[in-house]
Amino acid sequence: MTDLAELDRRELEETLADLGAPRFHGRQIYRWIYKRGVTDPSAMTDLSQKLRATLAEHTTVSTPTVARKQVSEDGTTKFLLKLADGQLIESVYIPDTPAQTFCISTQVGCAMKCAFCLTGTMGLIRNLTAGEIAGQVRVLAHETGLADKIFNIVLMGMGEPLHNYDPVMKAIRMLADKDGLDLHPRRVTLSTVGVVPGMMKLAEEELMPSLAISLHATTEEQRDRLVPINRKYDIKELIDACRKMPMRRRGKIMFEYVMLAGENDSIDDAKRLVKLLRGLKAKVNLLPLNEAPGIPFKRPSDDAVNAFAKVLVAGDVRVTVRKSRGRDIRAACGQLATDK
């Protein structure tokens, strides 16, 4: 059985050729699977009976199933999805920001162990395949009725995307297909903890997603503690890598900065952040901590967040504060974990 969910367009066409069918049917099949959410070949009514039978016999389309769906007071919807081997992941639909956004996972669990993140407490269970990453988008697009509409995706769910490089990039390619969901890579934001070799590879890609960097600290000592991968790729190396990223004309790198009371939320921290980003096309997204049981930090007061933001503005750094969405159902940043 060939799993069509794992194939990009070219591979699908090769598979068709191997099955003795013309390649151009790849386009129709992509439309069925991605645009219409149909995975049963017998329902693909513009294919010949013979091809439908061949597909039924030799192929399958693995699709995550919805094990649970929770809707937050603010409309944010968290999906618990079950994969073919029974592993569970979470994906989140965040409506009206003003865009429609899907927050997608790239791994089951995560190896990075950032000190304030719940997913990190699970450890890495396994990587997701390209088909599982794109499959989440297929499922959410159809569940929300947005398959024909414009939406964004953020690779900010469970996992570190650059720790699962090839499947992530393949999924981005599959989702970009014009006969599929036609998701322009510009509408995809890849968020990384700063895996520098992955960033350098990304710099060479033809289809480049937008980039977000989880910075969270302004001194090496502080980042070593909060984001352990800093011991391997430190702030200096990370910022150098950011300077080397090819940028779109009006593009900016987003720097995410989780705010932890009494830890990295002082005025001095803010001043150091301004200095660190000098000369970069940067915008900062402040993420006041979403507290969770077992996470040994506190969320700073709104006043502290505002005072911090003011220093950035005064330093000519663009800044936004991320509104926590779906906190009541633990769907907000850093709150995704499936073993609890």
Closest CB to ligand SAH among residues 215, 317: 215
Shortest spacing between CB 53 and ligand SAH, in angstroms: 43
Contact between 331 and ligand SAH per CB under 6 A: no
Closest CB to ligand SAH among residues 192, 230: 192
Query: Binding to ligand SAH (CB under 6 A): which residues in 273-312?
Result: 287, 289-290, 292, 295
- Choose the catalytic residue: 90, 132, 256, 263: 90
Contact between 334 and ligand SAH per CB under 6 A: yes
Shortest spacing between CB 132 and ligand SAH, in angstroms: 16
Among 191, 218, 230, 264, binds ligand SAH (CB under 6 A): 191
- Choose the catalytic residue: 103, 110, 117, 333: 333
Query: Binding to ligand SAH (CB under 6 A): which residues in 96-125?
Result: 112, 114, 116-117
Span of 88-96, 123-131, 187-195, 232-240 interacting with ligand SAH by CB under 6 A? 187-195
Binding mask 239-268 vs ligand SAH (x if CB under 6 A, - otherwise)?
-----------------x-x----------
Closest CA to 153 of 131, 180, 133, 130: 133
Among 100, 136, 192, 218, binds ligand SAH (CB under 6 A): 192
Query: Is 333 tagged catalytic?
Result: yes
Query: Binding to ligand SAH (CB under 6 A): which residues in 23-62?
Result: none
Contact between 160 and ligand SAH per CB under 6 A: yes
Binding mask 130-159 vs ligand SAH (x if CB under 6 A, - otherwise)?
--------------------------x---
Long-range contacts of 75-79, Cβ-Cβ distance < 8 Å, separation of 24 or more: 76/325, 76/326, 76/329, 76/331, 77/143, 77/144, 77/326, 77/331, 78/326, 78/329, 78/330, 78/331, 79/136, 79/139, 79/140, 79/143
Binding site for ligand SAH (CB under 6 A): 112, 114, 116-117, 156, 160, 191-193, 214, 256, 258, 287, 289-290, 292, 295, 333-334
- Give the catalytic positions in this structure: 90, 333
